[in-house]
Amino acid sequence: MLKKLILEGQIPYFKQIRKILLLLAIITPLSVFFYPKEEALFAQIGWDMLIGVMLIRPIADIIPKIKLFRTLVLLRKEFGIAACLFIIAHFVGFLMMQDQSILSAITNPDYWGFYNVCGWGTWGLAFAMPVLLTSNIFSIITLKKWWKYIQKLAYPFFILGGVHVVMIEGGEGLWPIIVVAVLWIAAWIKKASKTPVRSSDEKTPVFPHIC
């Protein structure tokens, strides 16, 4: 059983687990309306999930023999949605504690300025919204090749959110960004090194496929 789970990546009732995770991802952040004082906790949960979403793909590429990581890559959608919604819940809870409306916040230039901590977080959410809204089958079918480009906005979301966290926590918030960057570079190097090279007499050049 353990061998099938770790080495073969076979998770029992995987489809049901995905449905439950998606349901929890949508429902749980709504509790911020009952516990707005816990907005910092919502932020921490969302940030931790976002780190996990960013880490699992390069880890799966670096350690391909452990198929469990590859299976967990399939859960990035559910955890990505949860990460976005928890961070949005943090933003909503923060505004509730400040007795402000969402409209007044997003129309306030101070919430968009890179000179303060709020600006980095707000811009991060701005990049997150297209990713969140297109995380569904309908968008994949409708947008076709453009869907992947929109989903890549998750990277500036992560970077901007990381700066937001660093400005609040200092050096402690920096290490996840460094770890993610190192693992992505390592995964890229590994993929590039495995790209087959054609002989020099062939006309069509070959470029590493890194996506």
Quick check: 126 and 133 in contact, CB under 8 A? Answer: no
Domain that holds residue 116: 2-190
In a domain, 202, yes or no: no
Per DSSP, 80 falls in state H
Average pLDDT over residues 7-14: 82
Neighbours of 50 (CB within 10 A): 27
In a domain, 141, yes or no: yes
Q: pTM value?
A: 0.86
Helix intervals (H) in the chain? 2-6, 14-27, 39-62, 67-73, 76-97, 102-106, 117-133, 137-143, 145-151, 154-169, 175-193
In a domain, 201, yes or no: no
pLDDT at position 1: 67
In a domain, 14, yes or no: yes
In a domain, 129, yes or no: yes
Cα angle 58, 180, 143; round to 5? 65
Number of domains in the chain: 1
In a domain, 45, yes or no: yes
In a domain, 56, yes or no: yes
Compare 191 and 128 and report the one with higher pLDDT.
128
pLDDT at position 196: 57
pLDDT at position 194: 76
Q: Is the pLDDT of residue 49 over 80?
A: yes
Neighbours of 169 (CB within 10 A): 12
In a domain, 210, yes or no: no
